Each structure stands twice: as structure tokens, then as C-alpha cells.
Amino acid sequence: MSKIRLTRLFIFEMAHALQGYDGPCRHIHGHSYTLEVTIIGTPLIDENHPKNGMVLDFGDLKKIVKETILEDLDHGLLLQADTDKDLVETLRKLHHKLLLTPYQPTCENMLIDFKSRLRKVMPEHVMLHSLKLWETQNSFAEWYASDEG
């Protein structure tokens, strides 16, 4: 059976701050992120099935990523949970879409978070193959299932 990889791109806007970082990114600032999600599986062979010839309908992949990641993060502000309490309270009062994470919101840590979220909801017949997160047009991080032991 031939294995095929499918990739879908997603663009979302998000602000963050890298707490304690020794550069300007310690300040709250935003990015237009591009997330590439790649799955792997075998195309369905069933002439009578509407998804005949597909590993997974691109539309279904879109729905999964939207519900699992984008609805939560798009146009949000990601800050580490131990951010100054007064600042958090003020932002909440201003109705900001504030998300507090147990991790420093770097590309690397966001990918680890996304991988865990997606693995919980992936249909059984496909596997999450890799993720690529572009933070700027020059910088990206990648996660590959094959890199995990």
C-alpha cells in the first residue's frame, strides 16, 4: 500500500511575549504565523465512498486544525502563566483574548503543544507526520513524528 503525505497551510495572527528574553521579543508583539500540518496515510480505495482516493479530505483536515488550534489562538495573546498578575488582570478587563500557557511561547514550544492537541483528535486511519511553524518570513521551527523515539 502506498503511503501519501498531505499538507495543509494555515495562517493565523497572534501576539506573544518571551518572558525574560534578552532581546526585543520580551515585549508584547505580534506575528502572522504560518502553520503547515502534514499527515500520512493510505488513500481509500472504495468506488462507492465519497472520499474515494483520499487519505483524508483536505476539508476535514482544515476543520480539525481550526477546531483544535486556530479557534483558540487566532487573534489571541499568548503569555506565560506566571506573567505579572496586575498585567493579566488589566488585559482580562480589556476583554483581550488572553491565553496563559505553562510554557514560554516560542515556536518550539507551540509546536509541542500543537502536536499534543492534534494527536488527540486525528482520525485513526491517519498519522500526524510533521508540523512546520513559520514565525516570520525568515524563521521557522519543525516537529517530526519520526524524530521521537
Ligand X SMILES: Nc1nc2c(c(=O)[nH]1)N=C([C@H](O)[C@H](O)COP(=O)(O)OP(=O)(O)OP(=O)(O)O)CN2
What are the residues binding ligand X (CB under 6 A)?
18, 25, 29, 106-108, 135-136, 138-139
User: In the bound complex, what is the minimum distance in angstroms from residue 20's beta carbon to ligand X?
Assistant: 12
The answer to whether 37 and 131 have CB atoms below 8 angstroms apart is: yes
Q: Which is nearer to ligand X, 129 or 135 (CB)?
A: 135
Among 15, 25, 100, 141, binds Zn ion (CB under 5 A): 25
User: In the bound complex, what is the minimum distance in angstroms from residue 137's beta carbon to ligand X?
Assistant: 7
Q: Which is nearer to ligand X, 72 or 108 (CB)?
A: 108
CA dihedral 52, 124, 57, 44 (to 10 degrees): -20
Interface stretch with Zn ion, choices 18-26, 43-51, 65-73, 75-83 (CB under 5 A): 18-26
Strands 29-41 and 127-134 come out as: antiparallel
Q: Which is nearer to ligand X, 6 or 130 (CB)?
A: 130
Strands 98-101 and 76-80 come out as: parallel
Q: How far is CA 140 from the centre of its chain?
A: 13
The catalytic residues are 25, 75, 135
Instruction: Enumerate residues 6+ apart whose C-beta is below 8 A from 64.
Output: 118, 121, 122
